[in-house]
Structure formats: structure tokens, C-alpha cells
């Protein structure tokens, strides 16, 4: 008997059920939930695709994907057999009304269940899916729709997509997913700030010097050149992931931990972001594109080679100096950075505190370094507080930077759930705290769009950077001119 806390019986319907996202992320996440007994007995997973497949053929595809993307010691044959019984595959062409009617007929057999429609497709298809579901009477009060990024390519298209979906679903039924918000450490950031008395009193411009947010990848476009060349790092990563992380760092304490209170505070930060326009774009942003290089002594191709494009002005790296114009954060820069084909893979938030007001200890060289809080999102989730300590031993006072380290794997000694595991079940529960609201999304686009427009007008070519480095030298200069430097991965 499966035991699931707070999860009602549901049908989870995946549009794009044979695609990379479904096989690589969604199905393994659902299988993990099966392994952890979080799925109710009355739960089914309905995958939709354009390919003609038998039920067994689709199950074989999912099984192969789960075995590939789950660690060997975590794949259970017993749990797979139970999970496979939940799987159902339908061939569905979005242009065929009859296919939607067949889906609706199937769903009507369990009409009392929650229905989650997960759109693992391009956003250009969202409106057609919504209309097809509506016309087939497949939407009821307990329906939700989950929309994958990117939602639009600019503010205008984002508004159009939101308006199209709003014709068929209420706002509280729409779940705009950003998987970074489902990561354990991201959620722990709110607990760190608002559940402990020692951090919030120093979480302001009087004590914090600056904030760095980095999402670094060693991979290139990996076969996504067609999509990526129309998007770029600013749309693909900054507009959603990095801006959302900035909001969680900077937001005021919500009155309570619920979906509206949290998102209200995030929206205030988005509206407080200082616009980057005109000449400020060149001064406060850096964009680059990876060239040939090497990672771990292995040669890597350029972006043009990886994408199969002869010429492109699409950025694979972005660095931005952002500022939040409110009382808490005035004068505190937020440095955002993301890129592909970088030296190492890591995602982290670094809070650099101001130095002590008066140094009483003799310290050679540059003196004592300020405290630093490092919140690591991947690959090894954890929180590290860097403090100054005395080195043991006689013969003088020697100081050293030492970490207080909270490693999730060491402390909790259990598998940290993947972000999609939490977010999928939150969508079933109707809990949208970790999803973006329409006004949030559009406010984020409003801040990003002037940068995009200025880049498009600029006649300057992108700055190349060798694969296996940490991006263009201009990125180092961006933060160095303020007397600061980037924190890179394993540094303390």
C-alpha cells in the first residue's frame, strides 16, 4: 500500500511525453516518488506524443531513460513494476481534435481525480494545447496546467502566451515552472533567513558588501543549437533562474509562508531592480560566446561547431551588475553570471559581508578577509560560512579562513530529492509557492528586455572566450573595477 501525505489521487498528463525533458527529468522524478511511497494508489501517468507506440514500447523507453538517469543503486525493479502499471501512452497530434476527444474520454473514467497537464513542449504550442483541452471539455475545477520555460522570447510574446492560457485556465490553475526554485538549498535559503535569528539582523546594506549569483556549466549547447540560437543565455538562464534567485536573496520577510505572500515579496524586488538601459548596458553587462578550448585536458568545440551554424551573435555567457533600489539593499551590487563551456560546473549564491570596522589583530599581507556565506545549489548542495580563526600553536597569532560547513549529504545522510520531484507533487497539491505568477514573469521580462534591445542595436561583436575558462576577461573586469573578484567553485 502506498502512503502519500497530502497528495490526492491524480492523473498526470505529459504533452511531449517522448521528449528529452520527459524521459530525462519528469519520469525519473515520478519514479523516485514511487520509490519513496509518495504516490497514492489512484495515480496514473499519461504520456502523449506524435509517435505511434504500443504501451510496452513506451514503457521500455521510460525504463531505459530511468536506468540511464538514475544511479544504479537507486533503481528498484520492484518499484519499477509498480510504476509501469501507472503508465499509459496516447498518440496525440495537437492539430487533431479527435485526439483530444480520446484523451478527454479516458480522463472522464476518473473524473474525480486532480488533472495535471504538463506541457513539456515549446511555448509556441501552449495556446493550441489549451484550446484543444478546452474544446474537448477536458478541463475541470481540479485541473492544473504546468508551463515549462521559456514563456515567450520577450515581454510582448510572454504577455501573449499568458493571455492565451488565461482564456482556458484561471491564474491559480497555472503553474509556471522554474526548476531552480525546487532545489533543496534554494528552499533552505528562506529557512536560513527567516527561521534563524542570527542572519536576518545582518541581511542588509549595513553588513553586506555585495552578492554574487553564479550558474556555471561545463556543457555546450549539446544538440540544442536550433533552440538555443534563438534564445541565448540572457533569455534561457538570467530572465528566470538567476533573477528568481536574486529575488529570494533580496526579498523582505513575508507575513507567512504561503504562495501569495512569498510571491508578493518577490514581485516587490523585481519592481525595485534598477533598469539597465542605454549606455548603462555596455557598462554593467558582459556577453560572450564560447570558442574552442579544453576541459580536463579534453578538447572542446566552439559554439558555432556545436550548433552547426556558420555565423551567430547569440551569447552563451552573460555577466550583469544589478542593483536593487530599496532601503535594505541600497549600495549593494548583485553580480549575476552564467555561461556554458566553463571550467567547472557549479551553481551558488555568495554573500560577501563587510569587513570588521576595526582590525585589532596583526595580519600580514592584505589583512583579514571578510566573512562569506556560500550557498551551493549544485553539484553538492550545502551551506558554508567562512570565518576567521586562529591557527593552533604557539609562537604568535596566526589567522586563517576556516569554514563552518553544512553538507546536505553528510548531515542528513539521505538522497536529496530532485527539484522536479517536489515541484510535480506541489502542482498536484495546488501549491504554487515555488512557481512564478504572471505578474512576476512579466516584471522579469520588463527588466531584461532593455538589455536585449541594446544588444541588438549594438554593432560590437560578441567577445569570444576559450572553452574551459570562466568566461570573457571582460567579466573579470566588470567586478574588478569595483575592487572585488568572482568566487570560483572550490574557493573558500
> Residue 51 and residue 73: Cα distance in Å, rounded?
32
Strand order in the sheet with 87-91: 87-91, 43-49, 10-15, 114-119, 143-147, 174-176
Cell numbers 570596522: residue: 357
Q: Which of 312, 305, 353, 350 is nearest to 215 (CA)?
A: 350
Contact 153, 230 (CB under 8 A): yes
Q: What 3 state SS string does 40-65 have?
A: CCCEEEEEEECCCCCHHHHHHHHHHH
The burial class, CB within 10 Å (0-12 / 13-18 / 19+), for 483 is exposed
Which DSSP symbol is given to 325? -
Convert 88-98 to b/e letters by CB count within 10 Å (16 or more is b).
Answer: bbbebebeeee
Give me the catalytic one of 241, 301, 358, 487.
Answer: 241
Determine whether 241 is an active site residue: yes
The residue count of the chain comes to 492
CA distances (Å), 285 to each of 13, 46, 47, 408, 463, in order? Answer: 40, 44, 42, 34, 12
Which DSSP symbol is given to 342? B
Alpha carbons within 13 A on the beta-carbon side of 423? 26
Active site residues: 241
Amino acid at each position: 500500500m502506498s502512503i502519500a501525505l497530502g497528495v490526492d489521487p491524480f492523473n498526470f498528463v505529459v504533452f511531449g511525453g517522448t521528449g528529452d525533458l520527459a524521459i530525462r527529468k519528469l519520469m525519473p522524478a515520478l519514479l523516485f516518488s514511487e520509490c519513496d511511497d509518495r504516490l497514492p494508489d489512484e495515480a496514473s501517468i499519461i504520456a502523449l506524443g506524435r509517435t505511434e507506440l504500443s504501451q510496452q514500447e513506451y514503457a521500455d523507453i521510460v525504463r531505459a531513460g530511468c536506468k540511464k538517469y538514475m544511479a544504479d543503486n537507486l533503481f528498484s525493479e520492484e518499484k519499477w513494476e509498480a510504476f509501469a502499471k501507472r503508465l499509459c501512452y496516447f498518440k496525440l497530434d495537437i492539430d487533431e481534435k479527435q485526439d483530444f476527444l480520446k484523451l478527454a474520454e479516458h480522463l472522464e473514467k476518473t473524473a474525480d481525480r486532480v488533472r495535471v497537464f504538463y506541457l513539456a513542449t515549446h511555448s509556441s504550442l501552449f495556446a493550441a494545447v489549451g484550446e484543444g483541452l478546452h474544446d474537448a471539455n477536458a478541463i475541470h475545477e481540479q485541473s492544473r496546467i504546468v508551463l515549462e520555460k521559456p514563456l515567450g522570447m520577450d515581454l510582448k510574446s510572454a504577455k501573449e502566451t499568458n493571455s492565451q492560457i488565461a482564456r482556458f485556465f484561471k491564474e491559480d490553475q497555472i503553474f509556471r515552472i522554474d526548476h531552480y526554485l525546487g532545489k533543496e538549498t534554494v528552499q533552505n535559503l528562506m529557512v536560513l533567513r527567516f527561521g534563524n535569528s542570527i542572519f536576518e539582523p545582518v541581511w542588509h546594506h549595513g553588513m553586506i558588501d555585495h552578492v554574487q549569483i553564479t550558474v556555471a556549466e561545463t556543457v555546450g549547447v549539446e544538440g540544442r543549437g536550433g533552440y538555443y540560437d534563438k534564445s541565448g543565455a540572457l533569455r534561457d538562464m538570467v530572465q528566470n533562474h538567476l533573477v528568481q534567485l536574486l529575488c529570494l536573496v533580496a526579498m523582505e520577510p513575508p507575513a507567512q509562508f504561503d504562495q501569495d505572500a512569498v510571491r508578493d515579496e518577490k514581485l516587490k524586488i523585481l519592481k525595485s531592480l534598477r533598469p539597465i538601459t542605454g549606455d548603462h548596458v555596455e557598462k554593467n553587462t558582459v556577453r560572450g560566446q564560447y570558442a574552442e578550448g579544453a576541459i580536463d585536458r579534453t578538447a572542446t568545440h566552439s559554439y558555432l561547431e556545436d550548433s552547426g551554424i556558420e555565423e551567430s551573435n547569440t551569447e552563451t555567457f552573460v555577466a550583469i551588475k544589478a542593483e536593487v533600489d530599496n532601503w535594505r539593499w541600497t549600495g549593494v551590487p548583485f553580480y549575476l553570471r552564467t555561461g556554458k563551456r566553463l571550467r567547472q560546473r557549479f551553481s551558488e549564491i555568495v554573500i560577501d559581508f563587510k569587513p570588521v570596522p576595526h582590525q585589532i589583530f596583526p595580519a600580514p599581507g592584505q589583512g583579514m578577509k571578510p566573512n562569506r556565506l556560500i550557498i551551493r545549489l549544485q553539484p553538492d548542495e550545502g551551506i558554508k560560512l567562512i570565518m576567521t580563526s586562529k591557527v593552533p600553536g604557539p609562537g604568535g597569532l596566526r589567522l586563517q579562513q576556516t569554514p563552518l560547513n553544512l553538507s546536505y549529504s553528510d548531515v542528513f545522510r539521505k538522497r536529496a530529492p530532485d527539484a522536479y520531484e517536489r515541484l510535480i507533487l506541489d502542482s498536484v497539491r495546488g501549491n504554487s509557492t515555488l512557481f512564478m505568477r504572471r505578474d512576476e514573469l512579466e516584471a522579469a521580462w520588463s527588466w531584461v528586455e532593455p538589455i536585449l534591445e541594446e544588444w541588438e542595436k549594438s554593432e560590437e561583436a560578441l567577445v569570444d572566450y576559450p572553452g574551459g575558462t570562466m568566461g570573457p576577461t571582460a567579466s573579470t573586469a566588470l567586478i574588478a573595477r569595483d575592487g572585488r573578484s568572482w568566487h570560483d567553485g572550490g574557493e573558500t
